[in-house]
Structure 1
Amino acid sequence: MNREHNRKRLREETFDICIIGAGASGAGAALDAALRGYRVALLDRGDFASETSSRSTKLIHGGVRYLEQAIKKLDLAQLRQVRHGLAERRTVIRNAPHLAYPLPLLTPVFSWFEGMYMSVGLAMYAFFAGHDNFPQGRWLTKPEALTEMPTLTDRMHSAVLYYDGQFNDARYALALAHSADEAGVAVVNYLNVTGFERDNGRLTAAIVNDLLSDDTFPVRAKLFLNCTGPYSDAVRLMANPEAEQRIRPSKGVHIVLPRETLQSDCAMLIPKTADGRVVFAIPFGDKVFVGTTDDDYQQLDQEPVLEPAEVDYLLETLRPYLAKNPDKSDVEAGFGGIRPLIVSSRATTKTLLRDHEVEYDSASGLLSLLGGKWTTYRLMAQDAIDKAGELLNNSTPGKTENHYLVGGENYRFDDWQCIQQQTNLPTDVCQHLMRTYGNRAQRIADLASSRPELSEKISQQQPFIKAEVVYQVREEMAVTLRDVLARRWRLELSDWQLTIRVLPIVAELMARELDWSDQHRQQQINSYQSLLNTFLKRAGLTTQPANVTHL
């Protein structure tokens, strides 16, 4: 993806559809539209998936909680979400098998009745999933459960095992944007929409400010599609000040613990907390992510951060299920996201519908894709582009169901061995490259072979190598330190202290590729370090600021 080339296209061309927001739904809609033959622009005021779409629980699922509510309340809307989610689960994994895969989940139970209740519910879950080649779940005895997850409490009666999908959300969104770019979309990050031009009230151009150059220019299109998630109302009101607000933002946070917390490749589902929520403990790399919370959030101009009360809540929720109680000193990082829940008459964010809606504002001509969740991003995008086709009087069917994303076609994980034979890189590095880049891993291997200094790890604690930074700048439109460390790698999510320590190494590599001055390089380091120290302080995890000079 070449930012300058695409930016030039935005200045010169008129597009059929300009999509605002490059998270799951926006990038998915861009790819869908391009495969149907539309001329498409995709813009984001930040990096790809820099907001909600990179801060999920990393699960591709139908929604066990939705199924329970659907049955208890005879709620067909909830049941529809489950069926859509389970149907799409297979497609999400098939189209990017390097980034998404089945995940076993254990649910500890404390009585025979509870085990039977969960087993019946999960059998129904499997029934709705149909024949999708997922492994079958089962009711485990206590010894079997402890074999799968040795850290479980001895107080449990047994456990129920079932399967859902796990994925790398930020890289999946990046793969969607990258695939859209290769399908002809003009994809540009760090472009902020500040207003619209109109003709008789109808939108004809988006006024954008390039946050890297401070340049302002119009992007012209026949139709504008708003895919900005929890920020959708801001764009809707910019297009039509008379519009009613439709989004009720909800904050969800996760804490990060060492992988030893579970000592398992299985995740854990805590089916009911003291306040009626569902919490997951998910192995992800060498860490365990525990979450999520679900609370109203109105400070949309501020990044959601982990707070001490949220840390305490998640630790207290986890403790009854483990033999050894984790405490605050075990927490290594955390992350918060904002869900774009659609306004409803229901009382709390825990029960608001998360299904999506395609809204057309006849006064301005703005199309908005509201609500939804990661698992059904493709259906959301398909519905939005179906409506766009109607409005453009040029309808054509979608083609994304069987379209491999960048890195996914002909993917074979065992090809890491070929890379190792070619480069002599360590096993953990070669396996990481395959899981992260799929069939594009060879390109990083070629960089490492051509420049041996790029084969070095940035830290002995992780499998990341310097060649990846060069590739991410050249091919994946990484332009800031956080682009690399938070999203193309997921280091910020898993270890704040280590992220701070490697900043100078990554900054030096990016400076060479992007021709940064020494001053700009140091500004990037200082700004990111300050942000991470703020995260640590706000979460109550340290009293001493971490510093890059501790290298």
Structure 2
Amino acid sequence: MNRTAFFDQLPTQTFDVCIIGGGATGAGCALDAALRGLSVCLIEKEDFAAQTSSKSTKLIHGGVRYLEQAVKQLSPDQFRMVRKALHERRTLLQNAPHLTRSLPLLTPCRSWLEGMYYSIGLKIYDWMAGSRNIQPSRWLSKTQVLEHVPQLQTEHLHSAVLYYDGQLDDARFALALIKSAAKEGAVVLNHTEALAFGYSKSGKVRKLEVKDTLNGHTYDIQAKVFVNATGPFSDQIRTMANAKSRPRIRVSRGSHIVLEKSHLPGNTAILVPKTDDGRVLFLIPWKDQVLVGTTDLEDELSDTPRPTLAEEKYLMSYVNRYLKTPITEADIRAGFTGQRPLIEAIFAKDTKSLVRDHEVEVDDKTKLISILGGKWTTYRLMASDTIDAVCEQLKVKKDCSTEQYRLAGGEAYTPDLFLKLQQTYGLTEEVARHLARTYGTEAMDVLALTQENPDWKQPLVAPHPFIQAEVIFARRQEMACTPEDLLYRRLGLGLIDAEATQRVYPLVERLLQ
């Protein structure tokens, strides 16, 4: 992953496909296309996964809420989407075992009738997953529930249903896709903004002027096919290519707050099955913290969405409704907001009722391919459908081969890798586990840097398990260009501890230099 070398390739090459957008879907498209033998260039205006793809609820799931909507509305579209997502859930867990894990979730119930309702619903969820189910759901008594999560309030607790979904490190997963695509021959560029398209005589997009936003230099990218994979920003690229394009995307904001682990120890998450405004909410163990989210409100598109005070209070109110120890604003360690790209539906009254499925659109005039909608769990299917459309334009027949592909760091990963790291480099168990779960087998490359400079084995910032070598590795091997790239995506510290992020910023700047 050498940014300078990648830029040097732009003037000398006509790519089969140029992908605009370096989030989950764009990265998935780049890997899929490269594995099909196509020449690939991917550009991202900010950093890889800087927007929605690093600000999710970190779940790999079929969507319990979508299943409930499917049943109530007798919606075949919702059923199909849940089934596809449940199939893909297992694939994500297998393809990046270091960045994913199975996650037990408790759904508290206030009555026998409510327990029966959710127990039946989650048995349907199990049944739809079929042989690819993680573990079967179970209806637990009040006593059993408190053995799992003793922090739950008991006043209105009757029982709970325990079921299983998956969890992922979303920013690192997107980066693993990018690194794997580069390994397979793709040119990948962050901090590279699309400025203007160029066209053939027939009106098809054939060229894209881009700018390196770090130094202002501009380049032309020549490609046979262009893909728009910019998520909530899709309409901007569609309009850039064809000014007559009508808007297709409605944006929904999902905000989260982060609390100390002490508020929900253990590894079991809580699903609040129904909020006062008809949504679901999660309290999830995440990187030795507790992640609470998400909201779901229609929003204006923004490069810098942030949680509002009203959203923070909304999320806090449900923590205080379900956990014994109340929290205040002082307990919030960090917060973040992601914007979901929902495909416009003519009769939808609000964003929470829109289907989270995807659509591949090919513009009649310019032949720009746009991948619209979707969600993290189905990124691979979205990429497959998109690259099928690319191959159709190129008039080649090459099949998708990503389902069995182990991503960077996951190739020979085993759950006991942390023990080898601990013994070989004299690490604490906490640091060894962190490195194994973040880098997989590439953790050995990170730690090899400590032989070049023993100081890089030192902690980066207390009380977190990061070490200084990770900054060097991110700069040399993962195209981290700015402190924000490092703190918010490569490490994710900025999303879990705002105070520690500010404290370590000067050191990160020095190490990057």
TM range (shorter): over 0.9
Q: Which residue of 1 aligns with 2:313?
A: 312
Structure 1 range deviating more: 222-231 or 4-13:
4-13
| 8 Å Cα contact 2:266/2:285 also seen in 1 | yes
**Cα deviation code 1:383-420 (max 9, x no counterpart):** 00001101110121100000010001121121212222
Looking at structure 1, the residues matched to 430 and 15 of structure 2 have their Cα atoms a distance apart, in angstroms, of: 44
User: Is structure 2 residue 95 aligned with structure 1 residue 95?
Assistant: yes
Q: 5 Å matches for 1:463-502?
A: 463-502=465-504
Looking at structure 1, the residues matched to 385 and 486 of structure 2 have their Cα atoms a distance apart, in angstroms, of: 32
Question: When the two structures are aligned, how many residues end up with a matched partner?
Answer: 510
Structure 1 range deviating more: 16-25 or 149-158:
149-158
Looking at structure 2, the residues matched to 61 and 15 of structure 1 have their Cα atoms a distance apart, in angstroms, of: 35
Give the CA deviation at 1:302: 4.0
**Cα deviation code 1:151-196 (max 9, x no counterpart):** 1001211111000000000000000000000000000101000111
Q: Which runs of 4+ in 1 moved over 3 A?
A: none
Looking at structure 1, the residues matched to 337 and 311 of structure 2 have their Cα atoms a distance apart, in angstroms, of: 10
**Cα deviation code 1:236-277 (max 9, x no counterpart):** 000000011100111110011111111221011001000000
Q: 5 Å matches for 1:328-477?
A: 328-345=329-346, 346-477=348-479
* Partner SS for 1:483: helix
Looking at structure 1, the residues matched to 309 and 132 of structure 2 have their Cα atoms a distance apart, in angstroms, of: 41
| 8 Å Cα contact 1:64/1:125 also seen in 2 | yes
Q: 5 Å matches for 1:111-510?
A: 111-132=111-132, 134-155=134-155, 156-200=157-201, 201-298=203-300, 300-345=301-346, 346-510=348-512
| 8 Å Cα contact 2:107/2:271 also seen in 1 | yes
* Partner SS for 2:271: strand
* Inter-CA distance 367–389: structure 2 relative to 1 (3 Å threshold): same
Looking at structure 2, the residues matched to 133 and 297 of structure 1 have their Cα atoms a distance apart, in angstroms, of: 35
Looking at structure 1, the residues matched to 72 and 40 of structure 2 have their Cα atoms a distance apart, in angstroms, of: 44
Q: Which residue of 2 aligns with 1:542?
A: none
Give the CA deviation at 1:495: 0.8
- Percent identical: 49
**Cα deviation code 1:72-107 (max 9, x no counterpart):** 111000001100000000001100000011000011
> What is the RMSD of the two structures over their aligned residues, measured on CA atoms?
0.9
* Partner SS for 1:350: helix
Give the CA deviation at 1:450: 3.1
* Inter-CA distance 301–105: structure 2 relative to 1 (3 Å threshold): closer
Q: Which residue of 2 aligns with 1:531?
A: none
Give the CA deviation at 1:323: 1.4
Looking at structure 2, the residues matched to 133 and 452 of structure 1 have their Cα atoms a distance apart, in angstroms, of: 45
1:477 counterpart letter in structure 2: M
Q: Which runs of 5+ in 2 are unaligned?
A: none
**Cα deviation code 1:193-235 (max 9, x no counterpart):** 0111112221111100110110011100001000000000000
Give the CA deviation at 1:440: 0.6
Looking at structure 1, the residues matched to 413 and 303 of structure 2 have their Cα atoms a distance apart, in angstroms, of: 39
* Partner SS for 1:131: helix
| 8 Å Cα contact 2:126/2:133 also seen in 1 | no
Give the CA deviation at 1:293: 0.6
**Cα deviation code 1:277-297 (max 9, x no counterpart):** 011111101211111111111
Structure 1 range deviating more: 370-379 or 140-149:
140-149
* Partner SS for 1:409: coil
Q: Which residue of 2 aligns with 1:109?
A: 109
Structure 1 range deviating more: 32-41 or 324-333:
324-333
| 8 Å Cα contact 1:210/1:216 also seen in 2 | yes
Q: Which residue of 2 aligns with 1:544?
A: none
1:507 counterpart letter in structure 2: E
Q: 5 Å matches for 1:510-525?
A: 510-511=512-513
Looking at structure 1, the residues matched to 303 and 434 of structure 2 have their Cα atoms a distance apart, in angstroms, of: 33
| 8 Å Cα contact 1:423/1:449 also seen in 2 | no
* Partner SS for 1:4: helix
| 8 Å Cα contact 1:423/1:448 also seen in 2 | no
Give the CA deviation at 1:319: 2.0
2:365 counterpart letter in structure 1: A
**Cα deviation code 1:487-536 (max 9, x no counterpart):** 1111110110110001111111001xxxxxxxxxxxxxxxxxxxxxxxxx
Q: Which residue of 1 aligns with 2:9?
A: 9
Looking at structure 1, the residues matched to 390 and 36 of structure 2 have their Cα atoms a distance apart, in angstroms, of: 11
Give the CA deviation at 1:133: 5.4
1:327 counterpart letter in structure 2: T
